[in-house]
Amino acid sequence: MTRDTTPPGGAPRLPEVRSVDPGSVHVLYEPRATRVVLTGEIDAELGPDLLEAAEDALTSGRPLQVDAHHVTFMDSTGLAFLARLASRSRGRRVTLIRPPAVVKFLIETTNIVQLLDVVDEEPALVTEDDGPQPA
């Protein structure tokens, strides 16, 4: 059933179009960690990219960080990605950085939170040539 959205005596209104925030995944190789940055909608459309990113991140041999600060939506595809990283990280915990409420809700509801270290602040960046700092 369609509804006429034309106001009496006025021009027809266009239906509202929801802004779609396409998802993306990027793997960044930092000196002491590998960071996966997720943005936008993390859903089935991004599935193949998430699988590739997981393999790239896992083969780096470095501690894994996932920055989820800019995620606007996540479905079971995103949850499976986080679970895959956590279960295959060779005994190292995966750090989930700044997850928004939608992601926190999902990982808590599914108990995936038990597999991750969740932090609400950006971890300090450390470079290879960082040594003891003078007092």
| Domains of the chain from N-terminus onward | 24-119 (3.30.750.24)
Task: Summarize the confidence of residues 67-89 as an average pLDDT.
Answer: 96
Task: Summarize the confidence of residues 48-53 as an average pLDDT.
Answer: 97
CA atoms within 13 A on the CB side of 3: 5
* pTM of the predicted protein model: 0.77
CA distance 112 to 104: 10
CA distance 66 to 27: 9
Task: Summarize the confidence of residues 63-83 as an average pLDDT.
Answer: 96
Per-residue pLDDT at 135: 43
